[in-house]
Amino acid sequence: MIEENLTTFYNLPVKDYEADTPLTNADQTAYRVRLDWEQHDSGVKFIDHLNKLLDDPAADQLKALVIGDWGGVGEGNGIEPVIEAIVQAKDKLASLEAIFLADLISEESEISWIQQGDISPLWPAYPGLIEIGVRGGEGLSLGTLSLNNLRKLTVEAGGLPPSIVNEIATANLPNLEHLEVWLGTDEYGGDCTMDDVQPILNSTRFPKLNYLGLKNSVLADDIAAAVGTSSVIVQLQVLDLSMGTLRDIGVEALAVAGNLGHLHKLDIHYHFATPEALAKLDGLGITIDASDPQEPDTYDDETYYYVAVSE
Amino acid sequence: MPANTPPLKCLIIGTPGDMRVAGFQEALRELGHPVADVISYPDWVLLSDDGRGDRLSSYDRVRVESPGRDPQALHAIRWRWQHPNKPSNKQPGNAIDDPSGSAASFFDVMDHIILAPTKRETVYLNHPQGILIASDKASTIEHLGGRDVPVPKQLGAMEGPGAGYERVRTAMLQSGMNRVFIKLRHGASASGVIAYQVSPTRELATTTVAMEQSSIDVKLFNTRKIQRYTQEEQVRALLDALCPLGVYIERWVPKAGVKNRTTDLRVVTIAGKARHIVLRMSKGPITNLHLLNERSGPEPLKRAMRSSDWEALIETCERVARCFPSMLYLGIDVAVHADLRKHTVFEVNAWGDLLHGITDRGQTTYEAEVDAMADWRGSLD
């Protein structure tokens, strides 16, 4: 579960925007707009709160914006009005390079209850975006992603449907360096199969890609098995298969993949593998994060493996 | 012991030899006071009114201790006044049985302490009157809310037949609250606590309460493992079984996260001052100490906050202590909000001073209490 709000974004410290308080160091701070639960209960409107930030004279210096709890998120209040407001503000946020949508902790909303939406109107409004982060896969649509300057894309979810993975796989992002996708579990809408993931593993669309994270996934073992014949791996410095249900079979596949020796790091933290299997990775001679080992749950003779973030 | 402090002879009403009594005895010894006399609850309830009065009059200080989990003490409390002739209704292990019977008897025990005819004024370290308020969580919230302490918005209390899923959902709908905490009114902390959230299309009850369903009934057990119920029929069974025992429902206040853990604080006040503070960190919404959740000193949270906001939290805790002027010590459960600014007080614990290995200014909670007790008089509101 995600239980702490972002403290940094776009390599900038995150600071909560306070209504009627001027922005300070606007170009060196990732400002977060959020409603405290008391404000929401007493009828404060998120859009009004956001508009106060947008009307600040220094808003045009803001490089990074984080959208936090916009109130009633678990009750069906979707993000689309917020997207609309940000789109309308494109002349006010003239310097915006990075945006994170839905920085909510589990105390504010379970990740799979976050009502995302069609965020594609952002792209024509902010064509120069360099970093995009999104939390919550329910109702999400990225649309046609064509952004020349985009270097980092992160999509966090308890489950991502094939449509999203497809939107990413077919995106036009020639300068993408960091791609992080939380595939999740089919219990929460993450019903991708390897057919959906292969286009990313064999992608030629991201020539600058050096970090690939296919995380938080019930497909972890299958992805690990496919790594050895995946053409994108040779580009990478970091391969991240953490937070998923990776077991011995997946670790053993990584050990014999044969194309990981150049990596700076293989991240498989939060996994279900045994020390014996993990020992087989020693031969790779690369930095490996295999921390946070997990035990599956057993009920009535059935064994259950859980990804790190689902509900 | 500082010079000019006469040795004080104490009476402890509690369970001889348990951690709390032993801890307090150790502190008395450390600070040069004589060993306290200890009377167990089973022995206490057998005394006559005059016997109780005599006993209370013979001591400089009286400490009404928690009966803890001692089955004989609980049995004595539960049955002595309410059902003197009924056989004991032994429940297995951690079963949540009807607490209203034990609560009522517990209140009787406290009342009988209060009403005992004494020859001189008894100086309680923790007055039964204060214990009674603190032990009824809904009363505590009302008591504090009326005195300018931030407490969660209450949806109200319910009990008896008819209390259950339907009434909870209706109340939530009518008040526009889609995320609530449901707690046993008279339970110990983390006994019978449910973090419940609903949306137009789904629901999730996160709790330490496990269910054993038979064709006849549903038995409830406290566990140390978090249960997550997402099916309506499970949640219905849970609430229909728990609510009749007497629950209160409040708005779920989103708590701050540190090191990717949800946090809250146990603050022990002694003689009105915030002293020992424990930061509780958990995965998920249920943070309680006895669930073996991680704990530490408050620095990781304090560091993430503005100092003025931290000081405001301390000031609130000291105000809470002033709301209970008859209690030398109090364990306050308080959480900082998700945005690390304001805070909310959830409950107070009359026996919340059992904190292993935590010292403040070199003193354990018990040592600090013994140190303060010479000057302590306490007063009813």
State whether residue B260 sits within 8 Å of chain A by CB. yes
Q: Judge: A2–B260 Cβ closer than 8 Å, yes or no.
A: yes
Residues in chain B: 381
Distances (CA, A) of A298 to A301, B43, B129, B252: 6, 46, 47, 31
Q: Judge: A105–B338 Cβ closer than 8 Å, yes or no.
A: yes
State whether residue B228 sits within 8 Å of chain A by CB. yes
Nearest by CB to A3, from B201, B228, B261: name it: B261
Is residue A221 predicted with pLDDT exceeding 70? Answer: yes
Q: Which residues of A are less than 8 Å from B201 in CB distance?
A: 76
- Look at residues A198, A289, A210 and name the one whose alpha carbon lies nearest to residue A243: A289
| Strand pairing class (A30-33; B61-64) | unpaired
Q: Judge: A113–B253 Cβ closer than 8 Å, yes or no.
A: no
At A23-65, the pLDDT tens digits run 999 999 999 999 999 998 899 999 999 999 999 999 999 999 9
Q: Which residues of B are less than 8 Å from A4 in CB distance?
A: 257-261
Give the pLDDT confidence score for residue B328 in this predicted structure.
96
State whether residue B153 sits within 8 Å of chain A by CB. yes
- Look at residues A113, A112, A124, A161 and name the one whose alpha carbon lies nearest to residue A141: A161
Is residue B120 predicted with pLDDT exceeding 80? Answer: no
State whether residue A151 sits within 8 Å of chain B by CB. no
Distances (CA, A) of A288 to A178, A260, A267, A282, B137: 18, 11, 6, 9, 50
Query: Contact B158/B167 with Cβ under 8 angstroms?
Result: yes
Across A92-106, B91-105, B306-320, least confident range: B91-105
Give the pLDDT confidence score for residue B362 in this predicted structure.
94
Distance from CA of A3 to the nearest CA of B (A): 5
Give the pLDDT confidence score for residue B80 in this predicted structure.
45
Distance from CA of B181 to the nearest CA of A (A): 12
- How far is Cα A236 from Cα A207, in angstroms, rounded to an integer? 10
Give the pLDDT confidence score for residue B84 in this predicted structure.
38
State whether residue A39 sits within 8 Å of chain B by CB. no
AA identity, residue B195: A
Arithmetic mean of pLDDT, B86-95: 42
Would you list the DSSP string of B97-114?
--HHHHHHHHHHHHHHHH
Is residue B93 predicted with pLDDT exceeding 70? Answer: no
AA identity, residue B343: H
Q: Judge: A4–B339 Cβ closer than 8 Å, yes or no.
A: no
Q: Which residues of A are less than 8 Å from B342 in CB distance?
A: 36, 38
Distances (CA, A) of A207 to A31, A132, A202, B123: 31, 18, 11, 79
* Paired residues of B229 in beta bridges: B205
Arithmetic mean of pLDDT, A85-111: 97
Q: Which residues of B are less than 8 Å from A110 in CB distance?
A: 197, 204
Query: Contact A34/A68 with Cβ under 8 angstroms?
Result: yes
Distance from CA of B250 to the nearest CA of A (A): 13
State whether residue A297 sits within 8 Å of chain B by CB. no
Is residue B91 predicted with pLDDT exceeding 50? Answer: no
State whether residue A16 sits within 8 Å of chain B by CB. yes
Locate A29 and state its tokens.
């701070």
Give the pLDDT confidence score for residue B86 in this predicted structure.
37
Which of B259, B339, B342, B343 to mutate to test binding with chain A, by most A CBs within 10 Å of its CB?
B339
Which chain B residue lies closest to A2 (C-alpha atoms)? B260
Q: Judge: B339–A36 Cβ closer than 8 Å, yes or no.
A: yes
Question: Which residue in the block uniquely carries the two structure tokens 């909000």?
Answer: B337
At A136-162, the pLDDT tens digits run 999 999 999 999 999 999 999 999 999
**B369: pLDDT confidence band, cut at 50, 70 and 90?**
very high
Give the pLDDT confidence score for residue B41 in this predicted structure.
87
Q: Judge: B337–A36 Cβ closer than 8 Å, yes or no.
A: yes
Whole-number average pLDDT of chain A: 96
Is residue B63 predicted with pLDDT exceeding 90? Answer: yes
Q: Judge: B253–A76 Cβ closer than 8 Å, yes or no.
A: no
Give the pLDDT confidence score for residue B88 in this predicted structure.
37
Query: Contact A293/A141 with Cβ under 8 angstroms?
Result: no
**B92: pLDDT confidence band, cut at 50, 70 and 90?**
very low
At B194-229, the pLDDT tens digits run 999 999 889 999 998 888 888 888 888 888 788 899
At B309-364, the pLDDT tens digits run 999 999 999 999 999 999 999 999 999 999 999 999 999 999 989 888 889 999 99
Would you list the DSSP string of B197-208?
EE-SS-EEEEEE
Which of A107, A113, A292 to mutate to test binding with chain B, by most B CBs within 10 Å of its CB?
A107
Q: Judge: A106–B259 Cβ closer than 8 Å, yes or no.
A: no
- How far is Cα B295 from Cα B278, in angstroms, rounded to an integer? 6
Across A48-52, A263-267, B87-91, B132-136, least confident range: B87-91
> To the nearest 10°, the Cα dihedral for B192, B195, B199, B203?
-50
Which of B198, B199, B253, B264 to mutate to test binding with chain A, by most A CBs within 10 Å of its CB?
B199
Q: Which residues of A are less than 8 Å from B262 in CB distance?
A: 3, 105-107
Is residue B131 predicted with pLDDT exceeding 50? Answer: yes
Distance from CA of B190 to the nearest CA of A (A): 17
| Strand pairing class (B10-13; B37-39) | parallel
Residue A49 CA to its chain's centroid (Å): 25
Instruction: State the burial class of residue B161 (Cβ atoms within 10 Å of its Cβ: 0-12, 13-18, 19+).
Output: exposed
**Kind and range of the H or E run holding A212:** strand A211-217
Alpha helices in B323-381 (DSSP H): 365-373
Across B94-98, B209-213, B251-255, B312-316, least confident range: B94-98
Give the pLDDT confidence score for residue A125 in this predicted structure.
98
Arithmetic mean of pLDDT, B263-276: 96
Share of chain A above pLDDT 70, in %: 100
Q: Judge: A4–B200 Cβ closer than 8 Å, yes or no.
A: no
**Kind and range of the H or E run holding A101:** strand A98-101
Question: Which residue in the block uniquely carries the two structure tokens 């990313």?
Answer: A200
State whether residue A300 sits within 8 Å of chain B by CB. no
**A170: pLDDT confidence band, cut at 50, 70 and 90?**
very high
Distance from CA of B144 to the nearest CA of A (A): 18
State whether residue B338 sits within 8 Å of chain A by CB. yes
The interface residues of chain A toward chain B in range 48-87, judged by CB-CB distance below 8 A, are 69, 72, 74-76
State whether residue A31 sits within 8 Å of chain B by CB. no
**Kind and range of the H or E run holding A63:** none
Give the pLDDT confidence score for residue B72 in this predicted structure.
74
Query: Contact A68/A135 with Cβ under 8 angstroms?
Result: no
Across A286-295, B256-265, B294-303, least confident range: B294-303
Query: Contact A305/A273 with Cβ under 8 angstroms?
Result: no
Distance from CA of A87 to the nearest CA of B (A): 26
- How far is Cα B267 from Cα B19, in angstroms, rounded to an integer? 20
| Three-state DSSP class for residue B214 | coil
Is residue B85 predicted with pLDDT exceeding 50? Answer: no
Determine how many CB atoms are found less than 10 A away from the CB of residue B271: 17
Is residue B89 predicted with pLDDT exceeding 50? Answer: no
Q: Which residues of A are less than 8 Å from B252 in CB distance?
A: 107
Q: Which residues of A are less than 8 Å from B259 in CB distance?
A: 4
Arithmetic mean of pLDDT, B153-182: 94
Arithmetic mean of pLDDT, A255-262: 96
Q: Judge: B199–A113 Cβ closer than 8 Å, yes or no.
A: yes
- Look at residues A155, A92, A90 and name the one whose alpha carbon lies nearest to residue A129: A90
- How far is Cα A162 from Cα A191, in angstroms, rounded to an integer? 7
**What is the end-to-end Cα distance of chain B in Å, rounded?**
30
Across A111-115, A125-129, B56-60, B65-69, least confident range: B65-69
At B277-311, the pLDDT tens digits run 999 999 899 987 565 667 789 999 999 999 999 99
Locate B38 and state its tokens.
């200890």
Whole-number average pLDDT of chain B: 86
- How far is Cα B165 from Cα B180, in angstroms, rounded to an integer? 13
Q: Judge: A4–B178 Cβ closer than 8 Å, yes or no.
A: no
Which chain B residue lies closest to A32 (C-alpha atoms)? B339
* Paired residues of A287 in beta bridges: A265
Is residue A182 predicted with pLDDT exceeding 80? Answer: yes
**A127: pLDDT confidence band, cut at 50, 70 and 90?**
very high
Locate A88 and state its tokens.
């309308």
Nearest by CB to B255, from A36, A41, A107: name it: A107
- DSSP state, residue B166: H
State whether residue B251 sits within 8 Å of chain A by CB. yes
